[in-house]
Amino acid sequence: MVALPVLVSGLEAEMIRLGYKDSTLAWYHGARRRLQRYFTCRGVEEFSLEVAMEWVDEACGGFFAKEQAGTLKQTDVYLFRVVQMLGDWELHGAVVRHYARTVSKLTDDEAAVAARFRAWLLDNGRSVSTVRSYGTAAGEFIAFTGTRGGLASCDAAMIGAFVATLAGYQAKTVEQKLCALRSFLRFAAGDGLAGTATAEAVPAVPSRRQSRIPSVWDSGDVARMLEAVDRGNPCGKRDYAIILLVARLGLRSIDVKRLEFSDFDWPGCRLSAAQAKTGNRIWLPLLKDVGWAVIDYVRNGRPASYCPQVFLRHSAPVGPFSDQEHLHQMVVKYARAAHVPVSEKRRRGMHSLRHTLATRLKRRGVASDANFGRSREDGAVRDAYRRSSAARSGCSRETPGQEAVTGQDCIGWEDVVSSSVASTDRLMQPMQRQKPSTRTGMASARAASRGIRQGW
């Protein structure tokens, strides 16, 4: 046990070393003074996480009750972080990454090592998202070793101490960070920065079958969430279209965020998406409800912008979503609005909607656990598109065990003549006032406009 003033003094010195802003340091200092007064009133001299959590609960007016009700304010979370930082400093002697959104402040030499590691990942064919996440984890480890003699002193004990700071993360997050650490240590060994056996000292995360069961929603819950979306405002139109694309077509959220106008094949009633995870391009049928939701957003909700991405952030500065925005709160928001139970015991992000579709397809004999993506693209989706095409020609077929997709289920040319042409014309009007160099970027949109008029 450590006396609270000693613990506070050491933590504040470390936060200064890490480069926290003066305003942030002042706020944390004030919060810790309140915590120290609480300990003094209770007659407690040594730091106790239990007593500190009692202070958090009292200062927030019932922190844990608010947490269960989902009514926590940001200031409540900050007070919780004050206590958790003290607990982690006592346990690990480090400010763990739960409480900082950026990598610890690195020296020039340390930053150069992190940059070389990212370049090494790119040279080895890793995706941009992998380079970003692995680079962040490597920066955390480099900063950690910087307080313990540097990478040259890295051994199994130091690696174990770093792994201990990951306590509290989800198992999947720990697994990802350890994979990044293992990769970084292989790079460091090859670069002569660390011993060749250090990567072998990184422990493996135990795999438990029950921990990997994906969360799914009942079909009625998904319908209620969609009904809860306020489609009378621009954000609601956008959210409704995004949720439909994930729930009906099984797209990953990152692929939805990256969708561009050129990815929509309106004459063929198809949607093309380049998968960020695999790098492969897939083609999916543009179902009627999905197509109309996208059109409604583009016509009546999308901010004026020359970004090629269809879906944009509506807060300034207006632009496409970043890859780090996982749209998790979008699902939670409408689940709560629809009074659908949201439990901490199951995942409830956008990917849960993809899992739900996979489960439905499997129950109908379309997809298996291992090849949902391939079955969806090469089986169910292809057959659905064929049936929709056949329906428009008057000869609809239905494959046993699958949902019939008729001409009324897929959006067709005759459905979007007035809406899409008017939408394209509206988007083109501001271009007439721009310089030729600015208009060049919209050549594909003009081509689409001509195709709309000629194809129908």
pLDDT tens digits, one per residue of 140-196: 898 888 878 888 888 888 888 888 878 767 777 888 899 999 999 999 988 888 887
* Residues 121 and 77 placed together within one structural domain of the fold: no
Domain span holding position 178: 108-212
Query: Are 339 and 434 within one domain?
Result: yes
Give the tens place of pLDDT for each residue, 375-408.
444 444 444 444 444 443 433 333 233 333 334 4
Question: Residue 445's pLDDT band (boundaries 50, 70, 90)?
Answer: very low
Cβ atoms 261, 273 nearer than 8 A: no
Q: Which one, of 118, 166, 349, lies nearest residue 246 by Cα?
A: 349
Contacts with 330 (C-beta within 8 Å, 6 or more apart), sequence order: 239, 242, 243, 350
432 and 284 in a single domain? The answer is yes
- Give yes or no: residues 208 and 223 share one domain: no
* Same-domain pairing of 326 and 287: yes
- CA distances to 109, 169, 194, 200, 360 from 106, in Å: 8, 23, 18, 25, 48
Examine the domain organization and report whether 138 and 230 are in the same domain. Answer: no
pLDDT digits (tens, 9 = 90+) for 277-291: 777 889 998 888 999
Let me know whether 198 and 82 are in one domain: no
Domain count, the chain: 3
Same structural domain, 414 and 297: yes
What CATH number is associated with residue 296?
1.10.443.10
Minimal CA–CA distance to 46: which of 14, 90, 85, 16?
Answer: 90
Do both 264 and 382 map to the same domain? yes
Q: Residue 148 belongs to a domain with what CATH number?
A: 1.10.150.130
- Report residue 453 as tokens: 């008029």
The answer to whether 141 and 161 have CB atoms below 8 angstroms apart is: no
For residues 283 and 414, state if they share a domain: yes
From 194, 212, 230, the end of a domain falls on 212
pLDDT of residue 93: 80
Both tokens assigned to 61? 């007016």
Q: Do 150 and 168 lie in a common domain?
A: yes
**Could you report the per-residue pLDDT of 353-362, keeping only the tens digit for each?**
888 888 888 8
Task: Please identify, among 197, 212, 227, the residue that sits at the C-terminal boundary of a domain.
Answer: 212
Distance of CA 357 to the CA centre of its chain: 19
Interval 221-250: pLDDT, tens: 889 999 999 999 999 999 999 999 998 998
* 68: confidence class by pLDDT, cuts 50, 70, 90: low
* Residue (of 332, 307, 327, 330) closest to 317 by Cα position: 307
In this structure, what token pair is assigned to residue 244? 């439909």
C-beta neighbour count of 339 within 10 angstroms:
10
Cα atoms found within 13 Å of the Cα of residue 33, Cβ hemisphere only: 6
pLDDT digits (tens, 9 = 90+) for 310-334: 999 888 668 888 877 778 888 888 8
In terms of domains, do 182 and 281 share one? Answer: no
What's the gap between Cα 27 and its chain centre? 29
Could you say which of 185, 212, 239 is where a domain stops? 212
Return the DSSP state at 191.
T
Residue range 69-90, pLDDT digits in tens: 667 788 888 898 899 889 888 8
One-letter amino acid identity for 143?
A
DSSP state of 317: S
Tokens describing residue 10: 């050491």
Residue 453 pLDDT > 70: no
